[in-house]
Homo-oligomer: A and B are copies of this chain.
Amino acid sequence: MSRDVFDDAEYERRVERTKARLREEDLDAIVVADPANMNYLTGYDGWSFYVHQAVVVTPERDEPVWIGRGMDAGGARATTNLSEESILSYSDDHVHSPYDLHPMDFVAGVLEDLEVADGRIGLEMDAAYFTAKSYTRLQQNLPEAEFEDATLLVGWVRIKKSERELEYMREAARISENAMQAGLDAIEAGVPEYEAAAAIYDALINGTDEYGGDYPSIVPLLPSGDHTDTPHLTWTDRPFEDGDPVIIELSGCRHRYHSPLARTTFVGDPPAELEETADIVVEGIEAALDAVEPGVTCESVEEAWRETIAQYGLEKEDRIGYSMGLGYPPDWGEHTASIRPGDETVLEEDMTFHMIPGIWTADVGMEISETFHVTSSGAETLADFPRRLFTT
């Protein structure tokens, strides 16, 4: 059962740290709608985030309250250790309702019962699934409340990983290695892109000999040929052709924890220019990984990358990495610290990042990435996979 993923003490620490942040911010409650944050605080794990749901934490109440659709209350019983009085659900006529009912009307009622209706309430204003309508309905129902943007409050609580979380991320890394190898093995001229995607999925879900894989928050991305000038394109029916670059970005997932990995391969003999670009990217990644240690800032890590590739005349405007770990679709990122200019977040032990400095030129793209854990002595990369351009 998913409720055994972490022991009760770990959830209690998470909730206590969240309550401490609420007290610091002088908030009487937070309404957590991000499914990753809901899972983090309660263990709740179900594909039910296509309807509105939330976890409410107040500094006063011991347990968080889980609020969801009636038919999902059983899922809350199965995957959390919450007591029955902390599992509250709304009737089905609130779902995509033609009756002017909205799940947040029910959430507002819970906030009234928790006696915070006239308090300062934190909302995840920019979290996926916390819609504009969710916000306006809470405002209409609770005219006395003062709402504050608390989008990243739980995200910052999550940023340092426990030993058990790191264990799941290392397990996810084993799955990522298997899936990357399966993808590289499947790609050759004449094979349709979807067959390579199927081989990757097979490895992602079958996992290892010891354990299976969970669904990743982002599907394997597999742009090939002239689609490699842009990230985020998925597979098609097109067969790979001799002369195609192919980017594979994927992540194994274990109990919702990820360890993303990207590599680039080439169908046939790669042009010298692509090989050179790969060498520069690898040198830049290694310089950035070398710069990682507790006490340095995110922007200084980016600077190490930037200065290294600048020696070869390359530049890149985008961020090159972000804090990540636990996630649900559409993202495995935590949206807190990013490795980029101007981000002065100081690295601390047990933070985890995905460093993915993609290079996209007018003609071609290349991605090589590593997920790393900040240890007392530097960066521990979670996957052990050759860091280079591949060829079929």
Residues of A whose CB lies within 8 Å of any CB of B are 1-2, 45-50, 70-75, 77-79, 91-93, 95-96, 98-99, 102, 123, 125-136, 149, 151, 192-195, 197-198, 201-202, 205-207, 211-215, 218-219, 221, 226-227, 229-238, 317-319, 322, 329-331, 333, 335-336, 338, 340, 342-343, 358, 360
Given A206-B195, A212-B194, A212-B235, also A218-B335 (CB < 8 A): no
The distance in angstroms between the C-alpha atoms of A207 and B198, with both chains bound, is 9
Cβ contacts under 8 Å, A358 to chain B: 71
Cβ contacts under 8 Å, A214 to chain B: 234-235
The distance in angstroms between the C-alpha atoms of A207 and B334, with both chains bound, is 33
Given A78-B226, A131-B130, also A234-B151 (CB < 8 A): no
- How far, in Å, is A64 (CB) from chain B's closest CB? 19
Cβ contacts under 8 Å, A333 to chain B: 50, 96
- How far, in Å, is A153 (CB) from chain B's closest CB? 14
Among A72, A132, A330, A340, max chain B CB count under 10 A is at A132
Other-chain contact of A132, B73, B135, B335 (Cβ < 8 Å): B135
Give the oligomeric copy count: 2
Other-chain contact of A194, B99, B135, B213 (Cβ < 8 Å): B213
Cβ contacts under 8 Å, A194 to chain B: 205-207, 212-213
The distance in angstroms between the C-alpha atoms of A202 and B342, with both chains bound, is 43
Cβ contacts under 8 Å, A74 to chain B: 229-230, 360
The distance in angstroms between the C-alpha atoms of A49 and B198, with both chains bound, is 23
Cross-chain contact A233 with B78 (CB below 8 angstroms): yes
Cβ contacts under 8 Å, A78 to chain B: 226-227, 230, 233
Extra pairs beyond A50-B330, A75-B230, A202-B202 (7, CB < 8 Å): A48-B232, A71-B231, A102-B126, A125-B132, A126-B132, A215-B234, A329-B330
Cross-chain contact A319 with B95 (CB below 8 angstroms): yes
Cross-chain contact A198 with B206 (CB below 8 angstroms): yes
Cross-chain contact B151 with A46 (CB below 8 angstroms): no
3 residue pairs, one from A and one from B, having the closest CB atoms:
A194-B212, A74-B230, A132-B135
Cβ contacts under 8 Å, A79 to chain B: 233
Cβ contacts under 8 Å, A131 to chain B: 125-128, 130-132
Among A131, A134, A231, A335, max chain B CB count under 10 A is at A131
27 contacts between A and B (CB under 8 A): A1-B236, A45-B234, A46-B230, A47-B330, A50-B331, A71-B230, A72-B232, A75-B230, A75-B231, A78-B226, A78-B227, A93-B342, A96-B335, A96-B336, A98-B342, A102-B126, A125-B133, A126-B132, A128-B128, A130-B131, A131-B131, A132-B135, A201-B205, A202-B202, A212-B236, A214-B235, A330-B330
